[in-house]
Structure 1
Amino acid sequence: MSTHNELHELPDDDGTVLLIRETMARTTADLPPLPDLVGPARAQGRRRRARVRFAIGGGALAVAALGMAAAVALPADDGDPQVGGVINVAAPPSSSTAPPPPVHIEPTPGGSSMADLPPAERAKQEDFQNRAVPVLQSLLPETVGTVQRTDAGVRLYQGTKNGKSFFIIFSVRPSGSDPTTRPCLEAKGYVCKKTTLPGGIEATATTSPINNGNVTEAELFFHYGKSNVSLAIEPHDASNTSAPVTNDQLLELARASSFLDLVKAADKDPVEKEQKTVVGG
C-alpha cells in the first residue's frame, strides 16, 4: 500500500498521535527558518520612495539654481563674465514695450498742439510725459481711472474710468524770481488743506466748486526750486461728475518720492516756458 494509506490505518489512540507530533517537530526543527518577506519588502519600498523623493527634490533644486544663476549673474566691471572660475550666464534682456500713443485732442481754431513743435522739443516733452504717466497712475486714486498722455500739450493728461474722462493738468513751470503762493480762502463750497513737504516746502490742496457750483475740481499747488508746481483734476462736465480725488489724496501724492523726482527733473531741465506775470492782466 501507499504511505498515505498506511498512515490512515494507524490506530487512533492518544499515544500514537503524540508520537507522530513529536516526530514531525524533530523533523522540522532541523530545517532553516523561513525568510521574512514582509520586512524586506517594506524596507525596500521605503528606500525606493526615498530615492524618488530625493531625485525629484534634487531636480527641482537644480532647476531653481540654474534659474537663479541666469537671473542674478552679472559680468564683472571689466566685462569678463567669469567670476571665481565659474562662467555666469546672464539672463536675456527683457523686451522693451513702446509707450502707448497719446490721446488726440483736436486744437481749437487758431490753437496749436505738440505736433507744431520742433522735433527735438517735441521729443523732449513726449519723453517727460511718458515718465509722468506711470507715476501719476500709481499715485492717483483708482477713481481717476487709466491715466494717458495727450498730444495737446506737455501739461495735459487724461484719466478714464467707466466711460468718464477727467482732464489732468500737471505743470512744473519756471516762475522767475517771483514765486507764486496760494492762500487758503474762505468761500462757500471751497475746501483748502495745507501740509509741509520734505525740505520745508508748503503744499496746498483745494477743492473748488465750478460750473455754477454743480461740480468741483481739485488742485495741488506748491513752489519747488525755481518752479511753480500744480496738479489739477477737472470734473467730467457731460455727466456732472466732480473730480474723483480728495485734498488728502493730493497731499499724499505730493509727498511721494517718485512724484518729487519728476518735479525735480522738470525744475532742473524745464519742459515749459517761464511763467510771465502781466500787471493788471
Structure 2
Amino acid sequence: MGTTEDLYEVPDDRAVRLVRDAMDRTTADLPPLPDLAGAARAQGRRRKARVRAAIGGGVLAVAALGVAGAAALPVGNSGEKVSGVVNVAAPPSSSAPQPPVHIEPTPGESSMADLPVAERTRQENFQNQAVGVLQGLLPESVGTVQRTDLSVRLYQGTKDGKTFTIVFSVRPSGADHTDRPCLEVKGQVCKQATLPGGIRATAATAPINNGDVTETRLSFRYGKSSVSLAVSPHDASNTSAPVTNDQLLALAKAPAFLDLVKTADADPVEQEQTIVPGG
C-alpha cells in the first residue's frame, strides 16, 4: 500500500522525481573523481554537470516536441485548432484610415482645414466611420470610397480610373421640415420604401447636365435631421452614377447605415439647414 505521501503526490512532482532519479543513475556510472586539486577537480565536476544537463535537455526536448505537435495541427478559418488542444483566435484584421483626397477650395470657399483642430478631428473621425459603412454597403461598381478634406459631407468613389462624387449629409433641419414628393418628370424615376421605425425613404434617378447621364439620390427624415445620399456621374467619360434606386434603398435599411445616421443626428457634424421661404 502506498504511503500518504504517494496518495497526494501530484503528477508534476512524480515527473520531476523520475527525471532526478534518471540523472542520478546515469552519473552514478561515471568513475569516481580522483582526489585532484584545483583545475582537475573542477574539470571533473563540469563533466558530471554536462551529463546531467544533457539528460535534462532530452526531457525538455520531448516536452517541446509535444508543444510543437499541437502548434502544427491544422486550423480552421476562425483560428481554432481542429483538435481543440489550442484555441487561439486569429488577430482581427483592421486597416488604418486612409488620408483624405485633397480638393482645393474655390476662392472664398472654406474647407475643413479652416476648422479648429478639435472640430476638424471630430469631423474626420465621422468621415472615417462613414467611409467604412459606405464601402461595405454601396455596390462594387462605385469602387473604392474615400473621404475628402473639403467638406465633411463630400466623398469620392473610384473605379477603373473613373471618379464618382458622393455626397452624404445628415443635416439638422428643424422640427417643421416636411419632405417634398418625388415627381417623375423630365426623365426622373422615383421609388419609395419604408425603413425600420416606419421611416419613409425616397430614391430617385434623374438625368443631369445635358441629359446624357444620370445621378442617383436617396433622401429621408430621421429625428431632427434631413438625410441625403447622392452619387454623381463621371462627366469626363459620360458615365452615369453606377448605383440604382433599389441599391440605395437597400443601403438605407442596413443597421450600420442607420446607426451612422443616428450618431450624426444626435451629434451633428453639419450646421442646421436654413430654408428660404418660397425657395
TM-score of the aligned structures, taking structure 1 as reference length: 0.68
Q: Which amino acid aligns with 2:198?
A: G
- Is 1:164 aligned to 2:162, yes or no? yes
1:236 alignment counterpart: 234
Query: Which of 97, 108, 117 in structure 2 is aligned with 1:99?
Result: 97
Q: Which amino acid aligns with 1:202?
A: R
1:177 alignment counterpart: 175
Q: What is the DSSP-based 3-state SS (H/G/I as helix, E as strand, rest coil) of the residue aligned with 1:237?
A: coil
Task: Find the aligned partners of 1:59 and 1:211 in 2 and give their Cα distance.
Answer: 62
Shift of 1:112: 1.2
Shift of 1:191: 0.3
Task: Find the aligned partners of 1:62 and 1:209 in 2 and give their Cα distance.
Answer: 55
Shift of 1:150: 0.3
1:206 alignment counterpart: 204
Q: 1:260 to 1:59 in 2, by over 3 A?
A: closer
State the identity as a percent.
72
Shift of 1:94: 6.3
**8 Å contact from structure 1 (residues 191, 206) kept in 2:** yes
**8 Å contact from structure 1 (residues 182, 221) kept in 2:** no
* Superposition pairs of residues 1-281 of structure 1, within 5 angstroms: 60=72, 64=81, 65=84, 67-68=86-87, 70-71=88-89, 97-281=95-279
**8 Å contact from structure 1 (residues 197, 255) kept in 2:** yes
**8 Å contact from structure 2 (residues 214, 233) kept in 1:** yes
Shift of 1:58: 6.6
Task: Find the aligned partners of 1:96 and 1:60 in 2 and give their Cα distance.
Answer: 26
**8 Å contact from structure 2 (residues 199, 222) kept in 1:** yes
- Which whole-Å deviations, capped at 9, do the CAs of 1:173-230 have from their partners, x for residues lacking one? 0111222313120313110000000110000000011112111100000000110000
Q: 1:143 to 1:94 in 2, by over 3 A?
A: closer
**8 Å contact from structure 1 (residues 182, 204) kept in 2:** no
| CA RMSD, Structure 1 to Structure 2 (Å) | 2.5
Q: 1:59 to 1:196 in 2, by over 3 A?
A: closer
Q: Which amino acid aligns with 2:109?
A: G
Q: 1:62 to 1:135 in 2, by over 3 A?
A: closer
Paired residues, what number?
A: 207
